[in-house]
Amino acid sequence: MTLEVDVSGLEREVGGEIGFKVAGPAPEEAGSGGQRWGPVKVEGRAIWTGSTVLVLGRASATAELTCSRCLDDYTLPVLAEFSQEYRLADSGSGPAQPDPQGTGRDRRDTGRTATRRSGGPTPGDPASPEDAATDEEPLPFSGDTIDLAGPVWESLLLELPMKPVCDERCPGLCPVCGAKHGETTCGCRVETADPRLMSLKTLLETKERGD
Ligand SMILES: [Zn+2]
Ligand SMILES: [Zn+2]
């Protein structure tokens, strides 16, 4: 199976709607951030708006990530909702028309999901800058098949944590010997880097010397 929706049963009149469930393997580009993905399932609705097909979907998959603290691999279930418009590309008359007018209307109603743009760019963020623009223009489709791969993987990648952590309580690795804290008690003394504590320590040591 692939992430393609057969819309041959979709009535081409305003309000025509079909539900779908599709599944498929992760495309290669989905792992560009270093994570590995299991198969993805997508379900949702395709709605004929008059000039486009609006797809509202929910994708679920599991990503295998590496914990940023202890460096263990762990599996994270990822859920993402997306909405994407598709425009029928006229067969025979070249590529889809860019639609100079009017796609700005009807935007409020979809409860658009891609709102995680706060926080600004982060070094090493696997999300590419292009996804700021892609969900604005309808994607072309032809025949009776709509390919969901683009919006599905974009939305899933947006749900990945910037700093993956296997568990909120993950104690990480000992900075001295590299042992995993919580599994072993290595007994290393970890020097604190907090300057306030350092000056307190100096004070105590001075007192011990009896000045
Ligand atoms: Zn961890
Ligand atoms: Zn240690």
CA distances in angstroms from 40 to 2, 26, 37, 47, 196, listed in the order given: 9, 7, 8, 22, 50
CB 5 within 8 A of CB 146: yes
pLDDT tens digit sequence for 57-110: 999 999 999 999 999 999 999 999 999 999 988 654 444 445 455 444 444 444
Residues around ligand 1, an ion, CB closer than 5 A: 67, 69-70, 166, 170
3-state SS assignment for residue 90: coil
Q: Where in the chain are the domains?
A: 4-158, 172-211
Q: In angstroms, what is the span from residue 154 Cα to ligand 1's centroid?
A: 26
Q: How remote is the C-alpha of 14 from its chain's centroid?
A: 31
pLDDT tens digit sequence for 101-113: 544 444 444 444 4
Q: In angstroms, what is the span from residue 207 Cα to ligand 2's centroid?
A: 29
Task: Read off the pTM.
Answer: 0.65
Residue (of 42, 41, 38, 40) closest to 75 by Cα position = 38
Q: In angstroms, what is the span from residue 166 Cα to ligand 1's centroid?
A: 4
